């Protein structure tokens, strides 16, 4: 069973999807900690209900981003995480964290990378940008994390059509369940050691046959 650490900034619906999948046996792992950076983040209450230790680590507590990133790194080391999941976490991880967990940090983004992504593209801002551009298709991307925003190798993607009467809220509402499903699938793949990365290309390895 892999040890999963989750980082979140907001409501934590992706976090809840991972919690539920672990509880149901769809992920061969268990969530061992939540790190959140906003005191009002509802993700904390989800962790409390699930009996998962939650740690508030905010930029407000430190002199600069590097100090905060170091604190996040120390907490991930302390909880002995095997897999790190960014579930709506709006800050960038420090380079030491990326190096230590390279290929084992996964993030979800509510658009089809490389479109409508990068610093400042999060939440309904992404969906509004899609609508303003007049795109006919959006979707979501699950990618491995590197040192920049939304630039790591793509693990999973799925398209969602943009409807004529969509606004940012309705488009977000249709994409969110796809995010939940793909994130759970991605975490399960990582926990089963079925992800092979070569450069930017990600290959999903076949599931091992059960021992007879």
pLDDT digits (tens, 9 = 90+) for 109-146: 999 999 999 999 998 999 999 999 999 999 999 999 99
Band (210; pLDDT cuts 50, 70, 90): very low
Q: Are 181 and 16 in contact (CB under 8 A)?
A: no
Residue 89 gets which letter from DSSP? -
Contact yes or no for 6/33 (Cβ under 8 A): yes
**Residue 119: count of CB within 10 angstroms of its CB:** 10
pLDDT at 211: 40
The per-residue pLDDT for 212 is 42
DSSP state of 9: S
Among 109, 127, 143, 180, the one annotated catalytic: 109
Domains and CATH numbers, the chain: 2-196 (3.40.50.170)
Comparing 27-31, 61-65, 154-158, 164-168, the range with the smallest average pLDDT is 61-65
Q: Enter the pTM of the model.
A: 0.94
Q: How many residues does the chain have?
A: 212
The set of residues, in sequence order, having a beta carbon less than 8 Å from that of 150 and lying 6+ positions away, is 107, 109, 113, 114, 117, 118, 121, 141, 143
On the question of pLDDT at 190 being above 80, the answer is yes
207 pLDDT band, cuts 50/70/90, is confident
Question: Is-catalytic flag, 73?
Answer: no
Report the percentage of the chain scoring pLDDT > 70: 98
């Amino acid at each position: 069973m892999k040890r999963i650490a989750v980082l979140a900034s907001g409501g934590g619906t992706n976090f809840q999807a991972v919690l539920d999948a672990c509880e149901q046996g769809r992920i061969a792992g268990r969530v061992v900690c939540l790190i959140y950076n906003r005191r009002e983040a509802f993700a904390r209450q989800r962790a409390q209900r699930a009996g998962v230790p939650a740690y508030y680590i905010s930029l407000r507590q430190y002199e600069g981003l590097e100090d905060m990133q170091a604190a996040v790194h120390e907490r991930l080391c302390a909880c002995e995480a095997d897999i790190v999941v960014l579930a709506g976490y709006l800050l960038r991880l420090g380079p030491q964290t990326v190096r230590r967990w390279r290929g084992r940090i996964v993030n979800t983004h509510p658009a089809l990378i490389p479109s409508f992504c990068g610093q400042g593209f999060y939440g309904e801002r992404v969906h509004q940008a899609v609508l303003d551009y007049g795109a006919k298709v959006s979707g979501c991307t699950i990618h491995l994390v590197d040192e920049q925003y939304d630039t790591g190798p793509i693990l999973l993607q799925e398209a969602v059509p943009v409807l004529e009467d969509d606004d940012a809220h309705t488009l977000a509402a249709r994409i969110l369940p796809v995010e939940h499903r793909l994130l759970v699938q991605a975490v399960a793949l990582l926990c089963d050691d079925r992800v092979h990365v070569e450069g930017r290309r990600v290959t999903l390895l076949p599931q091992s046959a059960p021992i007879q």
